Each structure stands twice: as C-alpha cells, then as structure tokens.
Amino acid sequence: MRFKLILMILILGVSHLYAQDTVTVFSTKNLKQTDSVLVFKPQQTSLGKSPVVYLLHGHNANYKSWSKLADLQKLANQYQFIVVCPDGLKKSWYLNSPDKDSLQYEAFFLDELMPTINQKYKVDAKNVFVTGASMGGFGAMYMITKYPDLFAGAGSTSGVLNLRYSAFRKTTIAYLLGVYSEQNKLYDDYSPINNIQALKGLDKALIFDTGTEDYLYITSKQFRQKCDDLKIKATYIAQPGGHTGGYWSKSIVKHFEFFAAHLSQK
C-alpha cells in the first residue's frame, strides 16, 4: 500500500513537471508534408487565455532543438506563456518562395499552424509573440514586419537580419530566392532590415541581440541604427558570445523576460 502511494506521488510529480504536447500538422498545400510542433503549456494559470510565444529554430535544426537548449517548461510556467516550437524543415527560412513549386512556409505558418494552435489551446490572440535564433531570428523579424497586426512583439538572437550577410546566401537561400547576386533584389526585399519601417509608430515589443564574436554582429548594429533613425522603440543587447547554442540558451531567457514585462505594463 505504501509502495503504491509513493508510486502515485511520483507519477503526479512527473505529470506536474511536464505539460508539453507534440502536435502534427499535415500540410497538403504549402509544405506537402507533415510538420511536427512541440508545445509547452503553463502548468497552472489563472488566465482564461494565455499569451503565446512562437519559438523558431535555426538552420539545420528541428522542432526539438530549442527544448535541448533551454528549459521551456520552466519558462512557460514562470511567465505563463504557451510556447510553440514548429519545425522549420531545416532550411525553410520561414518564408514563401516566389517559386510556387518550392516551400511556402510563410503561408503554412499563417494559414495552417496558427489556426491549429488557436483551435487546440486557449490562446490570447492579442498577445502573440515570435522569436528565434539565427534563421529563426530572421523568421521572427520577417513575420512581424510583414504582419504587424498578428504579433504583439518579436525577438531575434543572432538573427540573419540582412540576408546578404548570411553564410547560406548562395546555398539554401538561393534555393528559395534564386541565384545570389547583387542584382537579385529579392535578397533585399525579404530582409527585415529593409522592412522595419512597417513598425514605425506601432507599440510593438522588439528585442534583438547578437554576440560580439558572432559573424552577424554587424547586421544587429545596422538594425539598431535603422531603428534609431526611424525612432522605433526596441531593446538591443550586445554582449560577449558567438553563433552558438550555448549563447542562445542564455540569450533566449531575456526574450521571455522582456515579453512578460511588456504584458505587465499594459
């Protein structure tokens, strides 16, 4: 009897620690394959609906990658966010390729993923945030500059804020946008640094950072200057670090703190 009681306590303890789901979304139109999504729910919440953070991974990673870098359940519990980690299919760059036969991840995100999450969970649609690392940082800033009405804020850690500086501009980005060249203006059209003006005058929670040893550090400096020139409020962090998971595991915590502080000021 005592053994059964101890076993029941252990089971309850484990279920209290973990509140994640794996959601699969089969996309026949935009991806032509299944996208796996890891979702972390706050264990206890007094809210009828919860704010959401879409957390986008970097190049060659997958939907499980962020859960290996940070304690997402702890962050969900502490800040009362639903945390959604979609699979960016290693190299989708979270955008729609002009080639209609290629990946249309942006359409998948907006038309299939977000409605699925809204249907399955009690989502506060007015408080949806998006952030990510490297390719995911690009995706987050790309999304909010193109669809500012859908997001309360966005973040980027070591993000590719200017596609012309990416190490993949002649490979996986070229697969989506065409052969890289100075004449290929799609690299400019899709770069968040050239679209940040869409957020001018809007009260969005923006945070971005890059380690000072990161090869993309220059793009964050340029992005900061552009925000300053346009008088767009944003929090910018420059700190020691490289383009590594070790850096992101620490930097992403600041993004959650920042989004939570934004909500507390409303």
Confidence at residue 142, expressed as pLDDT on a 0 to 100 scale: 98
Exposed/middle/buried for 238, CB within 10 Å: 0-12, 13-18, 19+? middle
Q: CB 102: neighbour CB atoms within 10 A?
A: 13
Torsional class of 83: left (φ above 0), alpha (ψ -120 to 50), beta (otherwise): beta
Domain count, the chain: 1
Exposed/middle/buried for 216, CB within 10 Å: 0-12, 13-18, 19+? buried
Residue 70 has pLDDT above 90, yes or no: yes
Question: Does 92 reside within a domain?
Answer: yes
Per DSSP, the residues of 230-258 read HT---EEEEES--SSHHHHHHHHHHHHHH
Residue 51 has pLDDT above 60, yes or no: yes
Question: Does 6 reside within a domain?
Answer: no
Rg (CA), the chain: 19
Segment 100-127 mean pLDDT: 96
Residue-averaged pLDDT of the chain: 92
Confidence at residue 266, expressed as pLDDT on a 0 to 100 scale: 74
Confidence at residue 18, expressed as pLDDT on a 0 to 100 scale: 54
The range of the structural domain enclosing residue 200 comes to 18-264
User: Could you tell me where the DSSP H helices lie in 80-165?
Assistant: 105-108, 114-120, 135-146
pTM for this one?
Answer: 0.92
Question: Does 7 reside within a domain?
Answer: no
Question: Does 210 reside within a domain?
Answer: yes
Question: Does 213 reside within a domain?
Answer: yes
Question: Does 3 reside within a domain?
Answer: no
For the stretch 184-223, pLDDT in tens is: 999 999 999 999 999 999 999 999 999 999 999 999 999 9
Question: What is the separation, in whole angstroms, between the first and last Cα of the chain?
Answer: 51
- Compute, in degrees rounded to 10, the torsion defined by CA atoms 111, 114, 120, 126: -130
CATH number at residue 73: 3.40.50.1820
With contact defined as beta carbons under 8 Å apart, do 57 and 84 qualify? Answer: no
Confidence at residue 257, expressed as pLDDT on a 0 to 100 scale: 98
User: Alpha-carbon distance 253 to 230, whole Å?
Assistant: 27
Residue 25 has pLDDT above 70, yes or no: yes
